[in-house]
Amino acid sequence: MSLEITAQIRRGPHKGTLLVPHRYSDGKYRVSRTRFERDQVPVYLHEVPAWLDKKFGVRMSDPVTHRGPRLIAPGSVKITRS
């Protein structure tokens, strides 16, 4: 089973840009309830949906332009399992 987690920027000059979870140098992803680094929890990709259910946001970035990661609210994240 594969897991695809995406979001789209909804407003501004980059509206419509596809975002994916940002993988950090330790190979993990980050979830958090705030934008502050001290509150970020490192997790594996398959753990992200469970954290979204707990109302944590996920740090996501644009893989094409390599813009820095931003915290995306759980309601804005789309999860597809196939």
Percent of the chain with pLDDT over 90: 87
Across the range 22-41, mean pLDDT stands at 97
Across the range 15-28, mean pLDDT stands at 96
- Residues in CB range of 6: below 8 A, 6 or more apart: 18, 19, 20, 77, 78, 80
pTM, full prediction: 0.90
What are the pLDDT digits (tens) for 45-80? 999 999 999 999 999 999 998 888 999 999 999 999
